Structure 1
Amino acid sequence: MTQWCEGETPSITSGELCCLLLSFLPQEECQNYVRVLIVAGRKVFMCGTNAFSPVCTSRQVGNLSRTIEKINGVARCPYDPLHNSTAVISSQGELYAATVIDFSGRDPAIYRSLGSGPPLRTAQYNSKWLNEPNFVAAYDIGLFAYFFLRENAVEHDCGRTVYSRVARVCKNDVGGRFLLEDTWTTFMKARLNCSRPGEVPFYYNELQSAFHLPEQDLIYGVFTTNVIAASAVCAFNLSAISQAFNGPFRYQENPRAAWLPIANPIPNFQCGTLPETGPNENLTERSLQDAQRLFLMSEAVQPVTPEPCVTQDSVRFSHLVVDLVQAKDTLYHVLYIGTESGTILKALSTASRSLRGCYLEELHVLPPGRREPLRSLRILHSARALFVGLSDSVLRVPLERCAAYHSQG
């Protein structure tokens, strides 16, 4: 129900009109779903679907009832609450959002706005750059903004197959001139390999969640497969991601040709520095042509260990957070893995084969008899607490529950 402030003239928004016209939509889809929520310094930046008319606001930490700024949410937040999206605000105050830009959901983009850099996006309606992607996570790391997603693989010519990807762009990218105007000139993407090794490897192709562990330069990912109800957790070093981006590209000469490896014209690419003469001076016609056609890496990013950290053949994982615990002998990575049935599995990420796949605990956070997927997991190290997002509430679970163990043994 819309409430009007005193002095305002009631008027219907384009989003509300869409919901009236599309009367077959469930009524709950025409509410305001917050899809972007970022704490940056003392400000909270949030975007909501707003009845299919996206809006973003900035608020002060500690006073969320007062709106400091309100801006259009298009290209920063999806129209539809069911569309996957992710976003991150860089240390320079720029918003990097991966979402769908149009009402129909057919124009996915990685889009930069706010801050001092010019607005840039991925190539529009170009399925080779992004092919029906589901965006999972975004991180500001060093010179780059990284995006983790799954999408239909254009290079796979034997039926429709989903691949998991990591994509990146340079934060100092200013776009092209004549070619790639208002478009990234540094966009690259590589496949993430999470599989069980063997004569015929078993691939977990569908990335569901990612977690950045900056202390260890690691990215953990939750992967599933649409073949059977199987799940895995794999870890990737940032150095392995860089190695894949420094390797050869995979290129298709024409729409009917095979995707073949091609040498990387700029190995060990690290964004570089923009010359004082102007931000576009280092962009030649040749370099822009290369940027337009060379974006898919030939080699996949390999995980830290040949086998996944955790696998499960009968459960679908959905979310993941990681805690660092210092024991007497070593530093342990403790994984909290959310499942589609609403439980949380606690496991160790370790090189020891005897401990691999061994669950420390299974947490039942829902009331008896209730089964539903967890919406989100967040870990607050300072409070030693795990926050669990449900459809109608948020739960706080202590990371240490020593009282549950009745004896030292």
Structure 2
Amino acid sequence: MKLRTTLIKNANIVNEGSIISGDILIEGEFIKEISSSISAKSGDVLVIDAEGKHLLPGAIDDQVHFREPGLTHKADIKTESRAAIAGGITSFIEMPNTNPQTTTAQKLEEKFEIASKTSWANYSFMFGGTNDNLDEILKVDPKTVAGLKLFLGSSTGNMLVDDPVVLEKIFKSTNMVISVHCEDENTIKKNLQEHIEAYGENIPISKHPIIRSEEACYLSSSKAIELAKKTGARLHVFHLSTGKETNLFSNKIPLKDKKITSEVCIHHLWFSDKDYDKKGTHIKWNPAVKTEKDKEQLLEALLDDRIDVIATDHAPHTLEEKSNNYTKAPSGGPLVQHALPAMLELYHKEKISLEKIVEKMCHNPAILFDVERRGYIKKGYYADFVLVDLNNPWTVKKENILYKCGWSPFEGTTFKSRITHTFLNGNLVYNNFKFSNKKVAKRLTFNR
């Protein structure tokens, strides 16, 4: 059977710390050739002229909540992965706090089965740890699953792992990347009770970063790191939200050699406590969006490589749910469609380079999770690409939001950059707001 062939001409290729002008030949699912100039050798080659556009590897989002199974009134794998493709995210790793939770081998395979039929983007899942499922954790094959997720704070269901003996056993028992949500529950409970006594049901949303405080984050993160150093575990700390936490991490060695790594999310780089008055519970996340100084320090740590990855923590809720008062409004918001445009906006503001964005959203997640043949523009790699027009402004409006929940914390924001094409496994799956009719997503594999 003849392989499908696509030739991308005249692109500004952003890859491995440089930007070069050139052509890329895709044959079937893979990159066949990269050169300054490639000619189409037959008439049945799809030729795309990328003159003036930038070609980036497809982003790999290491932390999303697509809500399936059990919470599909908010989102599902089909709708959210489609939104991700429109946002230039070609691969995602989804979290285990669904209903039922992904804490047994059987439930994990059931999610893979759903994704195999409905996902628009390449997919994998985290396996969830609890206080009593070590036997199930030991069944997981590290070559076929992204990693292990532990909630050391802010869990749903019974996923809070708060037994120190169990925690140490888990850290000692697995070679998988252990990704953790770090907020100290006791500190938060104490702070929340004090605010309930002061405000009753009417706690202002601006108190969220005081209730879910810097102290709560730092205490939990530092304990997790201490345990990782003691046990030799491979630890990845999700969604840092404070400048203070960034000092717990090192930039002294390359990412591939690090045992302890960290990530920052889009919302912690974009919003600050100044935005609560206008955005209200729409920017209520756990960990909380904190001060302008924290935001600046997070960006600084991202640029100097103490922080390794940019992710979304995409976690939709309905507008009705988010419109409740402080104590009842759930934390989380939708982000996959707007994450890359938001980072490109920071590029336009001269706060980060295109090369650094690609490093943190594409290369580094691939390195950190040992994702096989993705995250780079290299011969022999899967052809997961995004074409971006850096000078094609558009405004986020209800009618162009693709999330099932139908809203975005970026509503009303005008982005200068537009994603015009997304390629997945060699296929053009998104072209100027139009999707192809066939799904070509694959289960991620891991080179471990």
Q: Structure 2 length as normaliser, TM-score?
A: 0.26
Q: Structure 1 length as normaliser, TM-score?
A: 0.28
Higher alpha-carbon Rg? 1
- With CA pairs under 8 Å and 6+ residues apart, which has the higher RCO, 1 or 2? 2
| Greater fraction of residues in strand | 1
